[in-house]
Structure 1
């Protein structure tokens, strides 16, 4: 009786590079007799390798070093699947189904080879072979570190931090405007009108294969680049069918200890609500949602389903799919909150000494990924991702309010609901035309809908003697309802043709790539604020029953209040504040990869880019339009020298630019409780010059030690700053002629204990650290001369003539230690302790002789435990923010720092269970 042996090793994207092999060894047993299967031959198809078990059933084979798993199939025996990501010593036990003669013939056994994309070993292998300087983090490492979304994943990489409270990612101290985010190489839109990049927290790790972080530019990337290109590779499933369901519980220590966890009226548990501006909004009180805060549950959780399967047909074609759907929510509350301002001498601490915030967020995500390989030379892939993210917050500020100009008995409550919907659709193709040429293409259509329906704000004053609150009436806007909507559509295309000289696609002297890219984006933005103007002062109110005042019976000039908004026609009609933006980019690029020797390789590229960006607006500030267009030739160079087979020395340099965003150039005012932002139509792009050098050593499979240095020089850097005026609005300016940053980065990943047995056991450690120094010119005269618009200019009064970049920490460190163990029957255990620290960084540049506002550095500590009871049931637990540090922002002044913002987030706990069929 003949039996078949099939070894499946999943294939990654390194097919163009020479493969490095490792030794895979073990013993093949008949589980019923517990005897080794000796002296049997088998063949590894496609690798031209033959092997044989010895008299003790032992075998040794040389396989690709990015092995993912092996699957053993023998007629009459149960299928055995073994993961090889943690061990290269594999003993296989054949469990009979209905087998009687006990004899096995492996002489016709066949092994088919493919490779993994997301294992740590494979991603490091790709990093080692790539000519470009790139770092990646895959789904295996994300699971080990208990990472739940793309933002947290990127923050685990060297030189990267997240800004507390915003979700913005800073790479080497450079924030949102300097980074660029893509999905499978195609651009992603932003869901936030204030940002260039999409919030990475929207992407759960369930839909991520791996994330690549490129801190150096190459000609395939969008040139609006200064910090890094963050590319998310969506999940592609190749393997036998599976279906998994899971559920979990999320708790925040502050939120569950809150006796009365309150949020605004309107959204349901899933975060959805359908609220629109009422008809005749200024002619009566027809708003749907209540002003009165509602008590909600602080217990949160989620559920998810995912599955996939691939098929191989007789004609050699393959089809596969992966689909997932998930819902997660979380409740948060901050304690010991302070939010205030300080004068130039550090005196007169004005503001809110009692600041609280309850928040609730949801994320609903669905993804479908399909692929069809006609044959080994022609492949298609389609992705559709839908994300619905909602956030609710109820903020209360008690203390001094400048508009009241009385005492510190003011009280502001703001309730905000925001819904962001992102729909991403991609179609990609890869075609090998012959042994020396190939063609790649990609098309995408992205749509974004951002909605902030019915943000509620009220301002009151407490009479401490009577204990009564009265509504503030000094300005019509002190009680208001605000509606905001953004719609954005974007079409992108990538085309690329590669051909080789002096060899084929796997082994060549030179490879030449030519390509074309196009991007067209349109954005429409609309905002309306309805001010509830009081007709009399001293109206006594219950803060938790504001509906007793703001209702239809009290509406009218002869009653308690009226409703006003922007550009009213006196007949009840009004016009919204709007802006419309459009961006078009046309690109051609050429890149040459040349192997001078077997050790020295160069990658030289030139990107020719024509850009046009325009915007027109109609707002409370003005009506107008602005546009700019530019043509850029952007060169890049990358060099790799192989010191040994395990060591590389790299160098890269490039020229790029940084664009102002739509909202930054529109004359639109956005009012936060403590800050007011407005645009600058005269803002223009800055130019960036980048250089990196890096040494890498890969001691063993899955290990790396690297050290590198970098430098960036920026002409006409863009900064956010306070305008020198009575209103102290914040705007965006080209603040000086120059800025630069230099730094060094270190990364170590090492297995300190590795027991490669049938029950593999491993302890690994990881460390990355980045140190950076930055400096930039701050020139008031330059700002004044360059910002003339409609007869007005922007005045600034920087405290310092030179200063560091905003958002730039001098020191950033990440460290983790993990223990893992697996058992023969499919059980596993993995425990990780992860630590992060970043030092002080500037939040806002100092003006009017005041020092900078600085976010003080702090540390976080997380514990993650993941287990599988067997091949079907998994139980996971995490405890995050265990140190629960006080998060402080201070105003630096000559006589010492003064705290302007302070709070604690609390501890976050998660318990989840999943079952795989």
Structure 2
């Protein structure tokens, strides 16, 4: 609820009063009352386009928001896509992770209603934004410029997801939708692994120790793929809002959301390509396919109690359950399985890999605002988050096809080639923030404290199947692995044995079944002070500083190493924001700050995770990188819902972190502090403009573009020096050059949106929006020795959405996704030969969908 002073309304009322007084001067002079101010009390939609622009214009801090109204018009369903509509943002292909101003996951942070939330995947720092539905939010804020209210572990931006607090008339809305991905629907035989069900509610558990010790082979699910009929996406959700008056001034507002949706996808092409410096393949699956099925079940309840105009309390609880299945069949060459036939004239390596991942995230928040007196306001925010992330029953099989003899045999020289893998990450995350705002003349002083405690507990076990018969003495049916891996063959003793990284289950089950583990405790205490001072009507300055005491205790017992690590940092982070208003339509802003970048948990835990494309290992020798940031921005607000802005920015990074390939026979990738310095220099432009607006027809555009120039030092001697010694990782590398572009940074990003809004009759509207996004080349991983960088080539998407909303409460929409269906390509750029060698190449597939809703 917002209170607005409408000057034109006050003028109208005053004029009416004056006319009345002139006609009845004698009778009214005795009872005349002076009207000093007229207030119109009403509601303002936080996610509305005009409100988003107005808030940005008035804010002292540099903010950028994407509102729910804009997202609804574009048919954007999840937050990861929503963030890419903001200037300088890009979504990493194949994931929900976001790059902002060329800086990736470890450089950004994510908050919900201002409080940090944990990642749903140990591979990443930030939660996968694609699992958060836009129907639950008012807007998404991108805070690219630091201020001391934010946690200092950011150099790209903080993404703040603000959930809905309902303030309008009571309503209930039901949404039903369906869509298809043309790649998936055209596949004659669609397969997924055995075990998970349609709703993603099946909980697959690791076999108990007793069952493994007693039976050896105690797995309940099959190795064989399961056929799926009609891979058509579906979605069902409902949301509601209502209000209740409590006493004379109190008001209780409730917003609720619940929904389920699923998605089928299919890819085919090339993957896993890796080559030496002379262009000879080390691994290349040139005939690859992947089936993907994902589900999302979400529930949110948000209760807001406005006690009176001075006191407000809010409580919210959000539960998100997601699952992701990927079944891949990869055929080609892989030297790791003793395949010496590079040209695949006789032998072809065939890999099957089935991965099932489940995530359960619970976000609970309690917050309040209290105006204790005219100059003093207290705000507090408490949160408890719990994350349960699992990869239960990941399966892998590797066989070699002898085309001459027409039979398959296992790659028996490597027990890990055929395996079942189980892991689980449990995190409890306690966060808090309390601050006081005190107005003193033209100054506002903010004094606050932030605290966070997070404990992480990770366990994994991989059961490897050692093949006993000699190659050529048996036959394997790759469509029926259960005929070989079963209880009878295990008990017979001549087919396979089950081992782990710690030993053989038959001979030492206690040791063999001990999981790989790492645990982490992170404690962060921060105090901050901010002073906003208004020098005059045009110039306002905010200056502040934040102190953070960051402690992380890590204990690990993995196949790589066993030990403990303690890291203790003290960070003083100053920031200044200056706003100069040339007039009501033009602002100039200048900001400078210091922040830092902390390595991710899996980037410091010495644990090795193997995927189809790469094998990554953590590095306990990593440490914090410091960032120095400066921004200069010009904003022009021609109309209430229009904006034109240009921003120049620069970042200097001490000891930047980046993904590299380390010197090893296994071609491991890891993250290290690659050099002494790095830099990012960029230019952003944004336009939100009405092209034509007359009567009930509006033709508009919102577009943005970003140019980046990045560079970082590459110092192999520094890597060796800092990773050598007792308790260190011992990693080394050999860089191709002394410097390179920043890993993950695209040189150019652009979003172009064209929309038509048509109104007719009684509250009937139609919106038609075309959306185009472009991402230029960016480095996926830094090259080493004679091998070039892994580079993701330029990629673009084109979407179209048409939505109708009728006055009787019925709405329906038609959407087209990825309509151009471009080819995504990752290459290895070998500089010695000048060739770009394909590492990964596929098309996501175009899709169309329709939905219908009813609100009453």
Q: Same fold (TM over 0.5)?
A: yes
Which secondary structure state, in structure 1, belongs to the residue aligned with residue 641 of structure 2? coil
Structure 1 or 2: more helix by fraction? 2
1:566–1:576 CA contact under 8 A, matched in 2? no
Change (3 A) 1:640 1:500: same
Say yes or no: does 1:239 pair with 2:176: no
Asked if 2 retains the 8 angstrom alpha-carbon contact of 1:263 and 1:392, the reply is: yes
Deviations 1:368-406 (A, max 9, x none): 000001100000001100000100010111011212223
1:564 and 2:519 matched: no
Residue 65 of structure 1 is matched in structure 2 by none
Q: Deviation of residue 344 (structure 1)?
A: 0.7
Aligned twin of 2:236: 303
Where structure 2 has 5 or more consecutive residues not aligned to the other structure, the ranges are: 18-37
Choose from 788, 813, 816 the match for 1:851.
788
Residues 1:872 and 2:809 aligned together = yes
Structure 1 residue 810 corresponds to structure 2 residue 747: yes
Task: Write the distance in 1 (CA, Å) between the matches of 2:52 and 2:570.
Answer: 36
1:471–1:537 contact (8 Å) kept in structure 2: no
Cα RMSD after superposing both structures: 1.8
Residue pair 1:472, 1:537 contacting (<8 A) in 2 also: no
In structure 2, the partner of 1:325 is 258
In 2, are the aligned partners of 1:220 and 1:589 still within 8 Å (CA)? Answer: yes
Question: Which of 65, 77, 84 is matched with 1:155 structurally?
Answer: 84
Q: Which residue of 1 aligns with 2:199?
A: 270
What is the DSSP-based 3-state SS (H/G/I as helix, E as strand, rest coil) of the residue aligned with 2:336? coil
Q: Shift of residue 725 of structure 1?
A: 1.7
Of 662, 669, 672, 1:733 maps to 672
Matched residue, 2:212: 281
- String of CA shifts for 1:526-557, please: whole Å, max 9, x gaps: 00000111111333122111111111010047
> Residues 905 and 403 of structure 1: is their aligned pair in 2 closer, same or farther, counting only changes over 3 Å?
same
Determine which of 867, 871, 881 is the counterpart of 2:818.
881
Measure, in 1, the Cα distance between the counterparts of 2:443 and 2:41: 30
- Whole-Å separation in 2 of the counterparts to 1:212 and 1:258: 40
Task: Pick one of 428, 453, 456 that aligns with 2:395.
Answer: 456
Q: Give 1:794's match in structure 2, choosing from 731, 742, 753.
A: 731
Is 2:475 aligned against 1:540? Answer: yes
User: What's the CA shift string for 1:166-205, capped at 9, x where partnerless?
Assistant: 2210001100000000011111111111111101111100
User: What residue in structure 2 maps to residue 468 of structure 1?
Assistant: 407
1:511 counterpart = 2:444: yes
Equivalent pair of 2:576/2:593 in contact (CA under 8 Å): yes
Greater Cα shift, 310-319 or 192-201: 310-319
Tell me what 1:104 maps to.
none
The aligned runs of 1:403-552 (5 Å cut-off) are 403-406=336-339, 407=341, 408=344, 409-502=348-441, 509-538=442-471, 539-552=474-487
Distance 1:387 1:692 in 2: 36
Alpha-carbon distance, 1:793 to partner: 1.8
- Give the Å deviation of 1:281: 2.4
- Asked whether the equivalents of residues 433 and 449 of structure 2 are also in contact (C-alpha less than 8 Å), the reply is yes
2:723–2:730 CA contact under 8 A, matched in 1: yes
CA pair 20-123 structure 1, distance change in 2 beyond 3 A: farther
Match for residue 23 of structure 2? none
Q: Aligned residue for 2:22?
A: none
Given candidates 360, 364, 370, the residue that maps to 2:303 is 370
Match of 1:783 in 2: 719
* 3-state secondary structure, aligned to 2:720: helix
Shift of residue 902, structure 1, vs aligned partner: 0.4
**CA distance in structure 1 between the partners assigned to 2:110 and 2:44 by the alignment:** 26
Cα distance, 1:558 vs. partner? 2.7
Matches within 5 A, 1:432-831: 432-502=371-441, 509-538=442-471, 539-556=474-491, 558-568=493-503, 570-573=507-510, 574-756=513-695, 760-790=696-726, 793-831=730-768
C-alpha distance 48-215 of structure 1, shift in aligned 2 (>3 A)? farther
Quote the offset at 1:808 in angstroms.
0.5
**1:643-677 Cα shifts (integer Å, max 9, x gaps):** 11100000000001111122111111111123111
Q: What displacement does 1:358 show?
A: 0.7
Query: 1:501 Cα shift?
Result: 1.1
Quick check: 1:721–1:845 contact (8 Å CA) kept in 2?
Answer: yes
1:559 to partner: Cα distance: 2.3
Give the whole-Å Cα distance in 2 for the aligned partners of 1:214 and 1:49.
Answer: 41
Partner Cα separation in structure 2 for residue 710 and residue 318 of structure 1? 44
Q: Give 2:35's aligned residue.
A: none
Gaps of 5+ in 1: 1-9, 24-42, 54-108, 503-508
Alpha-carbon distance in 2 for matches of 1:350, 1:623: 31
SS in 2 for 1:444: strand
Contact 1:346 1:897 in 2 (8 A): no
- In structure 2, the CA distance between the partners of 1:911 and 1:22, relative to structure 1 (3 Å rule), is farther
**1:784-836 Cα deviation digits (max 9, x unpaired):** 00012447621110111100111101100000011111223232211000000
Q: Is structure 2 residue 299 aligned with structure 1 residue 360?
A: no
1:626–1:916 distance in 2 versus 1, CA, 3 Å: same
Tell me if structure 2 keeps the 8 A contact 1:800–1:846. Answer: no
Counterpart in the other structure of 2:775: 838
The reply on whether 1:914 has 2:853 as its aligned counterpart is: yes
Task: Check if 1:890 corresponds to 2:823.
Answer: no
SS in 1 for 2:603: helix
1:392 paired to 2:325:
yes
Q: TM-score, normalised by structure 1?
A: 0.87
Within-5 A mapping of 1:197-208: 197-208=126-137
Aligned residues: 817
Alignment check: 8 A CA contact 1:337 1:904 kept: no
CA drift of 1:349 comes to: 7.0
SS across alignment from 1:201: helix
1:228-255 CA distance string (max 9 Å, x none): 0100100111121111111111210000
Q: 1:49 to 1:614 in 2, by over 3 A?
A: farther
Distance in 1 separating the partners of 2:462 and 2:70: 46
Specify the alignment match of 1:33 in structure 2: none
State the alpha-carbon separation in 1 of the partners of residues 674 and 466 from structure 2: 39
Distance 1:48 1:223, change over 3 A: farther
**Mean Cα deviation higher: 783-792 or 490-499:** 783-792
Quick check: 2:178–2:234 contact (8 Å CA) kept in 1? yes
Q: Deviations over 1:201-220 (max 9, x none)?
A: 11100111100001110001
Question: Normalising by the residue count of structure 2, what TM-score does the alignment of the two structures yield?
Answer: 0.93
After superposition, give the CA deviation of every residue in 1:748-781 in whole Å (9 maximum; x if it has no partner): 000111123xxx2211111100000000000000
| Cα distance in 2 for residues equivalent to 1:293 and 1:590 | 59
Separation of aligned partners in 2, 1:291 and 1:347:
33
CA distance in 2, matches of 1:787, 1:337: 35
Which of 331, 334, 345 is 2:278 aligned to?
A: 345
Q: Is the 8 A contact 2:272 2:614 kept in 1?
A: no
The 1:789/1:274 distance shift into structure 2, 3 A limit, reads: farther
